[in-house]
Copies of this chain bind each other. A is one copy, B any other.
Amino acid sequence: MNAVILSIGDELTSGQTVDTNSAYLSRELASRGIATLAHCTIGDDRALIAQAIRSACELANLVIVTGGLGPTEDDLTRQALADTLGVELRLDEKCLAVLEEFFRRRGRTMVEANRIQAMIPTGVEVLENKVGTAAGMAARVGTAQVYLVPGVPFEMKWLFENVIAARLPEQQGLITHRVIHTFGAGESDVGAKIADLMKRGANPTVGTTVAAGLVSIRVVTRAADAAGVNALSQPVIDELKSRLGHIVLGEEDQTMALVLGELLRRAGQTVATAESCTGGMIGQMITAVPGSSDYYMGGVIAYDNRIKQELLGVPQELLAQHGAVSEPVALAMAAGCLKHFNSDWAISITGIAGPGGGTDEKPVGLVYVALAGKTVAPIAVRTLFPAQRDMIRLRSSLAAMDLLRTRLLSLRS
Known contacts A74-B198, A188-B71, A191-B71; A13/B38 CB under 8 A: yes
Is the beta-carbon distance between A356 and B290 smaller than 8 angstroms?
Answer: yes
Q: Classify chain A: how many residues form its interface, as a range.
A: 35 or more
Known contacts A11-B207, A36-B14, A284-B281; A299/B297 CB under 8 A: no
Asked if A139 is an interface residue, CB under 8 A from chain B, the answer is no
Is the beta-carbon distance between A296 and B290 smaller than 8 angstroms?
Answer: no
Asked if A23 is an interface residue, CB under 8 A from chain B, the answer is yes
Minimal beta-carbon separation of A209 from chain B (angstroms)? 5
Query: Told that A71-B188, A297-B306 touch, could you supply 15 new A-B pairs with CB distance under 8 A?
Result: A10-B220, A18-B20, A39-B39, A40-B40, A55-B55, A70-B188, A72-B188, A105-B384, A107-B384, A108-B186, A111-B189, A113-B188, A114-B188, A280-B283, A298-B304
Residues of A within 8 A of B (CB): 9-20, 22-30, 35-45, 48, 52, 55, 70-74, 102, 105-108, 110-114, 131-133, 152, 154, 158, 175, 177, 179, 186-189, 191-192, 195, 198-200, 205, 207-211, 218, 220, 273, 275, 277-284, 286-288, 290-293, 296-304, 306-307, 310-311, 340-341, 353-356, 384, 386-391, 393
Q: Is the interface of A mostly helix, strand, loop or mixed?
A: mixed
Query: Which chain B residues border A304 with CB–CB below 8 Å?
Result: 293, 296-298, 341
Query: Which chain B residues border A179 with CB–CB below 8 Å?
Result: 16
Query: Which chain B residues border A27 with CB–CB below 8 Å?
Result: 14-16
Q: Cα distance A40–B152 when bound, in Å?
A: 20
Query: Which chain B residues border A36 with CB–CB below 8 Å?
Result: 13-15, 43
Known contacts A13-B38, A280-B275; A199/B301 CB under 8 A: no
Q: Cα distance A389–B154 when bound, in Å?
A: 11
Contact of A299 among B13, B15, B301 (CB under 8 A): B301
Minimal beta-carbon separation of A357 from chain B (angstroms)? 8
Q: Cα distance A172–B384 when bound, in Å?
A: 43
Known contacts A26-B14, A154-B388, A207-B11; A72/B198 CB under 8 A: yes
Known contacts A25-B15, A192-B111; A298/B303 CB under 8 A: yes
Is the beta-carbon distance between A300 and B303 smaller than 8 angstroms?
Answer: no
Which residue of the partner chain B has the closest CB to A16?
Answer: B177
Query: Which chain B residues border A70 with CB–CB below 8 Å?
Result: 187-188, 191, 208, 210
